[in-house]
Structure 1
Amino acid sequence: MNDLKSKVAYLQGLSAGLDVSAESKEGKLLQGIIEVLDEFAESVGDLEEAQEQLEDYLDSIDEDLYHLEDEIYESDDMDACGEEYIEVDCPGCGETVCFDADIVDDDDVVEVTCPNCDEVVFINDDTHQAADEPEMLLGKVSSDAKDADEDI
């Protein structure tokens, strides 16, 4: 901002030194241009100041969010009861899907689906197949499809 203001001040001094009459057409035009440039320089200075304030505010929000994420994810890693979570990468979209490890020991067959693309990423049947092993999961889906066809 100081650079723009100093350049406008230089132009003001230069126009005063040219001995151009303020009453002439050229003098009025030159004076008007310099006034507009001065207003632009002030506006740019105000914008720069506001931008700096916004950046400072954003940095403080980012730092607060970082501390909050640390607190939240630290408590998510290990629950108060000691429950652990299993992570599986979805073969469809690549999203990491986390679910409770107790699902593996559940007596009922449970399918875990990706929240992004709804693809099955884990089935807790006897083979405990996960989507990380796509050939095994595809084999299971194929045999399920055959069983469904036979039932018809």
Structure 2
Amino acid sequence: MNYLFQKVSYLQGLAEGLGVDDTSNEGKLLLQIIDVLGEFTEVLDEVVEDQVGLEEYVSFIDEDLSDVEDEVYDDYDEFDEYDDFDFEDYDEFELNDDCLDCGDSCNCEE
């Protein structure tokens, strides 16, 4: 970001050295453009500083979340009830039930 400040300072010095003043319309325009460039540079510098701060903050949150995940999900890894369960033994099922209206037996097999 320092190079932008240097370039704007160079333009200010160049305008001053060339004798650009606000007595002519072109001089007013050039001086205003240089001032706006200086303001843009300052705002951009603030945005970059904020971005760096946000990156650090997100990094800390990510580390904290990782710690929480380790605490919460480590228990589930140790006692995963589906690790030793064999689903192939339960491909078929049979349902026997009595009808509530007529009392007939209803059988369903798959």
> TM-score normalised to the size of structure 1?
0.55
CA distance in 2 between counterparts of 1:48 and 1:73 reads: 37
RMSD of aligned residue pairs (Cα, Å): 2.7
Runs (4+) off by over 3 Å: none
Q: Which of residues 82, 86, 102 is equivalent to 1:86?
A: 82
TM-superposition CA deviations, 1:28-84 (whole Å, max 9, x none): 1110000110111011101000001100000000000111111112122224xxxx4
2:58 is the counterpart of 1:62: no
Unaligned runs of 5+ in 2: 96-106
SS at 2:19's partner residue?
coil
Q: Which structure would you say has the larger RCO, counting Cα contacts within 8 Å and 6 or more residues apart?
A: 2
Amino acid at match of 2:81: Y
The residue aligned with 1:19 is: 19
Amino acid at match of 1:37: L
CA distance in 2 between counterparts of 1:43 and 1:54 reads: 16
Matched length:
98
Amino acid at match of 2:74: E
Query: How far is 1:20 from its partner?
Result: 2.2
> TM-score normalised to the size of structure 2?
0.74
More helix per residue: 1 or 2? 2
CA distance in 1 between counterparts of 2:14 and 2:28 reads: 15
